[in-house]
Structure 1
Amino acid sequence: MEEALLTPPTFKLNFPKQVQCVEWSPYEWSQNLICIALGQEIFIATIKFQEEDDVVEDIIYNLLRTFHHETRVHAIAWSPKTSLSIVPKILSFCIAGADFKIRLYNSDLNESHEFEVLEGHKDYVNDISFDPEGKYLASVSDDHTCKLWAINENKKCFLMFPLTSAGVNVCWHAEEEGKLLVAEKNGIIHMYNVTSERAIMSVDAGTIPLSTADWGLNPLKVACIASGELITWDMSRPSRPLETRTLHIEGGTIMKFSPSNENLVASIGRPDNILKITNLKTKPSVLCGRVQLFGGLSWHQRIQIVCAGSDRQLLFWKVNNK
């Protein structure tokens, strides 16, 4: 890809160590909170943008607290219970580490800071996700399981769905309680009803390996990247994909729907760790950028800004999609 076709980031933030993982809070009431994993340190910060006439003019970064984590971070999930606008403040998030364990952190950003360890996976945990009420945490692992944890009660695994290959992604339906999406490396994407403990349906990408999947703002829209192909489905007609298009010729690393535009997808893939913003309704990429050492990808909940870890930097792109 020619350098001239790459869009430079709108903003950059520098850090003392390599960024391993990053996650913006996906909730309206805590949208400015961001969790950044650096080695054995977890930075919790706020990121705000100065906006004027729909133009983002500046970025304001404020570190709130640093937490210790014993191993490399594989995934981050924010609890919907997190809020800085109540007294006492509530900061609640989970970290999946390279030791196969999940740690649940709770803090009031004042005197109370604690974490609990969720143990049970026998291999790397690849993704974690809170349900919209914050009662349950779902996790998927290379150990061919999806586990459900009772966060409000004993922090134990109360339900397990066996998988036929490594679990790649897990995410909850934003509107229908108890509906869970689980994507497997072998190309199968399952929909489960956690309440009835049953599988509802599944779709097959038809190609492997499936590296990343997500559930869109439109709850009927599901997408994945398998063997570099972006594959999308309308789950009201799941028998065949809506569309398949080549996105990253040597495979995708991560893909996420915009939380504020059902047709925008951000992805990073090989070669060259190219970031692509894709509009599902148009053919050309909306934006292309590049990261160095990949360290996560996350959208802002409200503004069309995507950030990606790039070695010791966080890079931010403002997406103009008019």
Structure 2
Amino acid sequence: MKQDSVRSASYTVDCADYIHVVEFNPFESGEEGSLIAFGGNNYVSIASCRFQEDDASVSGIEFKTLKTFNQGIRADAIAWSPDTNYDSLTPLLRFCTAASDKNLRIFTSDLQDKNEFKVFDGHTSYINDVVFCSHDGNTFASVSDDHTCRMWNIGKGQTAMFMLRSPGMSVAWHPEESSKLMVAEKTGTIRFYDLLTHQAILSLESVQVPLMSADWCLKNPFRVGAVAGNDWIIWEMPRSSYPQNNKPVHADRARLFRWSRCSENLFATTGYPGKKNTQLLIHHLKHPQPILIGSVPVGSGLSWHRSLPLCVVGGNHKLYFWFTEM
């Protein structure tokens, strides 16, 4: 099933600005379509979207911007709270942004009169990733170039800090492993922390560096993936701390890795922006070659739909969506 030619995006949506980050809501949030957050130079917008692959009444894509929050600074990472509930009676939007001023912001909105945010400071360098606990809408974690992973509570502020040996690049919670936190470091080590004892209980090692992005597979909690150097890398826990599978895929270094949320074998990677374009590759572990190749003008951000084999990448004044068969 080799895919040699670059495939155009299945759908595109125009935006008012260059998109630095984009994130589908991974949680069930009501019946009004999937929620998506995307950040430009000064703002974060929330939209609902439906696709014909999921709803026969839709032709192509139905996209509706619900709310735009002007935070006055670039957002570099976005995490959705599991408390988000988008229905007609009691709408609640809650998400966290990591911004270029080294601060985290929790935004809360009822899509009407209540629109507020709270700032969390403490990191002393660039924040690379943020994630909410899937069982607790008050608890979130972040990793930074300041060699720390920090735990936060919306009401209490910072509650814990893990010292890292290099910049923290990715952080992840798994709904089946809520007492553990995955933290990936740039020098190629991925550690799992027990949140009761605050001790590292397992580590994985990459042969390639620098490790730029890692993700914990939703459909298989024993599977972890990452990109480092030019390669994608897969670990199967607890077989070994070293990878079971890796392959060079991006000539100009790999940038992001994301598992599909509906298959344990499907994942996407992006390369660094070249002179004009960023390469998107969609891979399936049972196929030797990428099953889809896409290209985005200076793209950034990567996220998978909650229930469809569909991913999105941000770009210059556009969102690009690719649908692939599993």
Distance in structure 2 (CA, Å) of the matches to 1:237 and 1:279: 21
The answer on whether the counterparts of 2:179 and 2:195 sit within 8 Å (CA) in structure 1 is yes
Residues in 2 aligned to 1:9 and 1:276: alpha-carbon distance in whole angstroms: 12
Q: 1:54 to 1:234 in 2, by over 3 A?
A: farther
Q: When the two structures are superposed, what TM-score results if normalisation uses the length of structure 1?
A: 0.94
Moved more, 192-201 or 235-244: 235-244
- CA deviation after TM superposition for structure 1 residue 247, in Å: 1.4
The number of equivalent residue pairs is 317
CA distance in 1, matches of 2:165, 2:54: 50
Code of the aligned partner of 2:280:
L
Q: Is the 8 A contact 1:295 1:311 kept in 2?
A: no
Match of 2:280 among 265, 275, 281: 275
2:316 to 288, 296, 311: 311
Separation (CA, whole Å) in 1 of partners of 2:207 and 2:309:
32
**Normalization by structure 2: what TM-score?**
0.93
Corresponding residue for residue 10 of structure 1: 10
Letter in 1 for 2:271: G
Match of 1:178 in 2: 179
Deviates more, 1:237-246 or 1:211-220: 237-246
Please provide the CA RMSD for this pair: 1.8
Post-superposition CA distance 1:45-87 (Å, at most 9, x none): 1011134798984100111111111211110000000001273
Q: Report % sequence identity.
A: 37
1:163 to 1:56, Cα distance in 2 relative to 1, 3 A: farther
User: 2:29 is matched by which residue type in structure 1?
Assistant: W
**What CA distance in whole angstroms lies between the structure 1 residues aligned with 2:269 and 2:232?**
9
Does residue 263 of structure 1 match 2:268?
no
Residue in structure 2 matched with residue 143 of structure 1 by the alignment: 146
Equivalent in the alignment of 2:20 = 20
The alignment status of 1:68 with 2:70, answered yes or no, reads yes
1:211-246 Cα deviation digits (max 9, x unpaired): 111001210000111111111111121333111111
Deviations 1:17-72 (A, max 9, x none): 11111111011335611111111121111011134798984100111111111211
Q: 1:54 to 1:277 in 2, by over 3 A?
A: farther
- Flag the 1:25–1:114 CA change in 2: closer, same or farther, 3 A: same
Mapped to 2, the partners of 1:54 and 1:7 lie a distance apart of 24
Task: Name the SS of the counterpart of 1:15 in structure 2.
Answer: strand
Amino acid at match of 1:208: V
Helix, strand or coil for the counterpart of 2:20? strand
Compared with structure 1, are the counterparts of its residues 176 and 4 closer, same or farther at alpha carbon in structure 2 (3 Å cutoff)? closer
Where do 1:161-172 residues align within 5 Å? 161-172=162-173
Native 8 Å contact 1:148 1:157 kept in 2: yes
Give the distance between the partners of 1:53 and 1:317, measured in 2 at CA: 16
Counterpart of 2:292 in structure 1: which amino acid?
A: L
1:122 aligns with 2:124: yes
Match of 2:191 in 1: 190
CA distance in structure 1 between the aligned counterparts of 2:54 and 2:314, rounded to whole angstroms: 26
Letter in 1 for 2:198: E
Structure 1: state its 5+ residue gaps. none
Q: In the alignment, is residue 204 of structure 1 matched against residue 212 of structure 2?
A: no
Deviations 1:233-282 (A, max 9, x none): 11121333111111112211111000001111111114541100001122
4+ residue runs over 3 A deviation? 51-57
- Aligned residue for 1:239? 241
Q: Which of 284, 291, 311 is the equivalent residue of 1:286?
A: 291
* 2-structure distance, mates of 1:57, 1:108: 29
Post-superposition Cα deviations, 1:133-177, rounded to whole Å, max 9, x if no partner, equal 2231100000000000012x32x1110000011000000022122
Distance between the aligned counterparts of 2:314 and 2:263, measured in 1? 22
Q: CA deviation at 1:295?
A: 2.4
State how far apart, in whole Å, the 1-side matches of 2:183 and 2:4 are. Answer: 38
CA distance in 2, matches of 1:247, 1:76: 26
Deviation by residue 1:106-136 (Cα, 9 ceiling, x = unmatched): 1111111110000100001000000012231
